[in-house]
A = this chain, B = another copy of it.
Amino acid sequence: MIPDKIIERIFSKDKRAVSRAISLIETGNSYSTELLKELHKRIGRAYRIGITGPPGAGKSTLTNQLTKFYRKQNKTVGIIAVDPTSPFTGGALLGDRVRMSDIGSDEGVFIRSMATRGSLGGLSKKTIDAADIIDAAGYDYIIFETVGVGQSELDVAKAADTTIVVLVPESGDSIQAMKAGLMEIADFFVLNKSDRPGSDSALSALKTILMFREHTEKSWLPNILKAVASENTGTREIAEEIAKHKNYLEANGFLKTKREEHYKVRIKEIVEHLMKNELWREHRAESLDASLAKVVEGETSPYEIAETLFNDFKSTIK
């Protein structure tokens, strides 16, 4: 059963209820699906912003400044920080503690870190589920802050309405971002720490790379904004660019299309997750393990074993 009154408490923006609901999802609690079904009726009002980029680009600082900007406009903000926990130490990042003392005590701000550690592909699903809970609670903006280094982090950033890629003038940074697939997902770029040397050449390198992007007619052209987040320079311009992009999406009916696309990816992920659970039931997992020695010896091939397992799956599923 869903914990008592948690739905009502979430709808009334009770932070502890929101936090508890996210924990239920993180641990894969059996009621979490029921909970999400109930909450879904009230979602879709929050505007979702993805902030991504290489490590050290200043994403946390920018998120904080943007949050404070929205708070001055009396808007509420939920932040989901996807934390690429070190596989060695398991510790949280320093930035998180700094953030908590800065905006964590504000009643209109909800902050949650979600660890990459051990999630193995389930990260984007859980992160977006968490955003739904915050959305249902009535926050105006949701910011996904995620380091752009892995597929699941990219998936999170892409799941936003507006995706911002933050870069710094360090040489080669934009090239690296391109290789990591960050360039494709940006609705606009922020060149942070733009008071540093090399800022102008980084800007022109970025412009050159963007020129190669194919554009369809009427499509949105990603802008490049300069900022120094640590000095709160450029925050207003970033907020304005977000608003501009939001207007663009809404005026053309693209917001709905974009959200439909996001739901499509997500539903596929949920179905495939259900299916894998069914597929890797104990007896098939054991049968796979038992076959491995023969495959290494060359007696049978991976493809033959795969077909046997798939046929067994088909014949036993009801």
Contact B179 A303 (CB under 8 A): no
A8, CB-defined interface residue at 8 Å: no
**Number of identical protomers:** 2
Q: Chain B nearest CB: distance from A283 CB in Å?
A: 14
Q: CB-defined interface of A250-270 with B at 8 Å, one 1/0 digit per residue?
A: 000000100110011011101
Contact B260 A293 (CB under 8 A): yes
Of the candidates B40, B55, B260, B317, the one whose C-beta lies within 8 Å of that of A317 is B317
Known contacts: A88-B213, A279-B272, A298-B42. The answer to whether A181 contacts B263 by CB under 8 A is: no
Contacts of A275 in B (CB 8 A): 275, 279, 310, 313
Docked pose: A213 CA to B279 CA in angstroms: 34
Contacts of A271 in B (CB 8 A): 279, 306, 309-310, 313
Contacts of A309 in B (CB 8 A): 267, 271
Docked pose: A204 CA to B268 CA in angstroms: 45
Known contacts: A267-B288, A268-B288. The answer to whether A274 contacts B306 by CB under 8 A is: yes
| Residues 26-49 (chain A) with a chain B CB within 8 angstroms | 33, 36-37, 40-44
Known contacts: A86-B179, A151-B151, A179-B149. The answer to whether A40 contacts B301 by CB under 8 A is: yes
Docked pose: A274 CA to B276 CA in angstroms: 12
Residue of B nearest to A125 (CB): B302
Q: Chain B nearest CB: distance from A113 CB in Å?
A: 15
Contact A305 B267 (CB under 8 A): yes
Of the candidates B37, B86, B259, the one whose C-beta lies within 8 Å of that of A304 is B37
Query: Which A residues have a C-beta under 8 Å from some C-beta of B?
Result: 33, 36-37, 40-44, 54-56, 84, 86-89, 147, 149-152, 172, 175-176, 178-181, 183-184, 209, 212-214, 256, 259-260, 263-264, 266-268, 270-272, 274-276, 278-280, 288-289, 291-293, 295-298, 300-307, 309-310, 313-314, 317-318
Q: Which 5 A-B pairs have the closest CB atoms?
A: A40-B301, A88-B212, A270-B306, A260-B292, A151-B151
